[in-house]
Amino acid sequence: KQEVTQIPAALSVPEGENLVLNCSFTDSAIYNLQWFRQDPGKGLTSLLLIQSSQREQTSGRLNASLDKSSGRSTLYIAASQPGDSATYLCAVQYGGSQGNLIFGKGTKLSVKP
Amino acid sequence: NAGVMQNPRHLVRRRGQEARLRCSPMKGHSHVYWYRQLPEEGLKFMVYLQKENIIDESGMPKERFSAEFPKEGPSILRIQQVVRGDSAAYFCASSPPAFSDTQYFGPGTRLTVL
């Protein structure tokens, strides 16, 4: 069964701290892995997409890594800000570019000023 | 280019009523996905449609739920005889007809069943 797990479920940090969110998946035959941000009552915003052939992707203060063999991905957020407070979702796609996404339950991040 | 539109944003129904959720994909997109997010749960895939075709409905409950994406107009997710367990956020995503790794998500419809 293809499952995605995210730990921790919730995280609270002071402003300015660097932090790491974790995602693991049971089936390593992924097509790609994506990190999303979800704000309360809002839709999903795509942050980073890593193809199965890639090791990492970077965007601004965000860096996502992928280790297919171990079934793990991490999202690194540098110099966290209160505006980073949101739920971060990891999603894995199998079966090619038209396949559906399998989501983890997310990590709820709170950055305290 | 407007994003994925969903309406209504909030929908309240009593048990036994019907719920109709609408999704207008981004311009030029012909692929639509529906996902459901139950309270304290992750998003779960329900159905994948292309214009006038259901491609994958492996995540749809066998009863009371149906989806369509007609040649003209929005995609519709229909829930008949709603029960309290149907209360959730329903998200629609769209992608273009050519190979695309990205699904663009709408803001969701939050269904509450009283």
The pLDDT assigned to B102 comes to 80
Residue B39 pLDDT exceeds 90:
no
Give the position of tokens 């199998």: A94
Q: Per-residue pLDDT averaged across B71-76, rounded? A: 94
Query: Which of residues 36 through 65 in chain B touch A, CB cutoff 8 A?
Result: 40-45, 48, 55-56, 59
- Band (pLDDT 50/70/90 cuts) for residue B99 is low
pLDDT per residue as tens digits for the range A13-37? 999 999 999 999 998 889 899 999 9
**pLDDT band at residue B23, thresholds of 50, 70 and 90?**
very high
Q: CA–CA separation, B72 vs B55, rounded Å? A: 18
Beta bridge partners of A77: A19, A62
Predicted pLDDT of residue B98: 66
- Does A100 contact B56 at a Cβ distance shorter than 8 Å? yes
Of B48, B105, B110, the CB nearest to A100: B48
User: Could you give the 3-state DSSP secondary structure of residue B61?
Assistant: coil
- List the 62-91 stretch of A: residues with Cβ below 8 A of B: 89, 91
Confidence of residue B86 (pLDDT cuts 50, 70, 90): very high
| B98 close contact with A: CB closer than 8 A | no
Helix (H) or strand (E) holding A16: none
Q: Mean pLDDT, to the nearest integer, of A66-92? A: 96
Whole-number Å distance between alpha carbons of A112 and A84: 10
